[in-house]
Every structure is written in structure tokens, then in C-alpha cells.
Amino acid sequence: MLNYIMHNDHANARISVIQAKPADTAAVMELLVGAARWLQSQGSTQWSALLSGDDHHDVTGHIEKGELFLFKDGEKLAGIVLLMQVPGDWDHNLWGPDGHESVVYLHRLAINRDYAGRGLGADMVRWAETGVSFPGKTVMRLDCIASNPKLNAFYSGIGYTFKGTSPSGFCLYEKQLGC
């Protein structure tokens, strides 16, 4: 299981945060497929593999490791985020082989479309930075597709430093975490 300390169990006054359990898998996948459908409706192919049932990011495995967090409005799933203390192959390919020891990787930030436009995404990222901590981790890293200027503006607008673009077309961002 994931080694962490939860400092705050709310992302904001309305949205609570809990660690996902295997019983949450179907709801998490439904949220991710909904996000993929919405991205497709916006002309993006991001996360499109989910539309054909391909979960090559192994969300189930991340839930079992305790790396996925649910953001809930009462019983309703409002969003999810994956926080990894150990980089995956994806992270090694984007960031290179070295310098991962002090890093938490933020992936699969997804919001139920019923909560879009309310600042929940920023609240979720802030919670990942301050509402939970991971022993020995002082940096948060994330990536997003370079062809989505709105998403890139979002991450730079909430204090993430642009570190470059990978040859595969993903923008890399990182932020020092308050210790």
C-alpha cells in the first residue's frame, strides 16, 4: 500500500477525499470513460483507448496499490487523481532515467463533467500538494499533451514550472512541495 500522511480529508468545503478501494473500480472507470468521451467531443484523442475498453494505464492496479484518490460530493464521485511515489515506465520515458527519488507523479486527474468549471481541478491539485504528503517526496511532477493549450495554461497558472516538451509531444511540469 501507498505510504502517505493525509493532512486534510477535503479538497474544499464540499468535496471530501478518500483513498480508492477495489470496490470503487467500476465507478472510477466510468468517470474515466466519461472524460475520454468528453475529450473526444472536443476533438482530442487523449485517453481514447479507454473508449474501446483498453486501460493500458492499469487503473485497477493503482487502486490496489493505494495510489488513487477519490474526490466525492456526498456519495457522488466528482473526480479522481493518481499519485505515484514510484515512477512508471511512462515517467522514465518522459523524464529520463535519473532524478526520481524525491518525486511524486500526478496522473489521471479527471473530473465528472457535472463539476466542470467550478475550480475543482485546481482544488484537487492543491490537495495533492498540501492535503497529503509522502515521506521523502519534495517535488510533484506531471505531464500533459502539448496540443491542449487550455490544459497547459491550467498547470502553469497554478504554479507548475514548465520543464520542456518530450519528443512524443507531452509538456513536462514540476513544482516544489512545501515541506
Q: How many domains does the chain have?
A: 1
Give the pLDDT band (50/70/90) at residue 179: low
Question: For residues 174 and 63, what is the distance between their CA atoms, to the nearest angstrom?
Answer: 24
Q: How far is CA 168 from CA 21, 144, 147, 161, 171, in A?
A: 33, 11, 11, 19, 9
The CATH number for 58's domain is 3.40.630.30
Contact 57, 49 (CB under 8 A): no
pLDDT of residue 43: 86
Write down the pTM of the prediction: 0.94
Contact 155, 142 (CB under 8 A): yes
Of the candidates 104, 90, 107, the one whose C-alpha atom is nearest the C-alpha of residue 28 is 107
pLDDT of residue 1: 60
Output 50 or 82, whichever has higher pLDDT.
Answer: 82
Q: Provide the domain limits for residue 129.
A: 5-176
Radius of gyration of the chain (CA): 15
pLDDT of residue 49: 86
Contact 34, 113 (CB under 8 A): yes
Digit-coded pLDDT (tens) for 59-111: 999 999 999 999 999 999 999 999 999 999 999 999 999 999 999 999 999 99
Give me the helices (H) in the chain, please. 25-41, 59-65, 89-95, 120-126, 149-157
Looking at the DSSP assignment, which residues form a beta bridge with residue 113? none
Digit-coded pLDDT (tens) for 111-169: 999 999 999 999 999 999 999 999 999 999 999 999 989 999 999 999 999 999 999 99
pLDDT of residue 94: 96
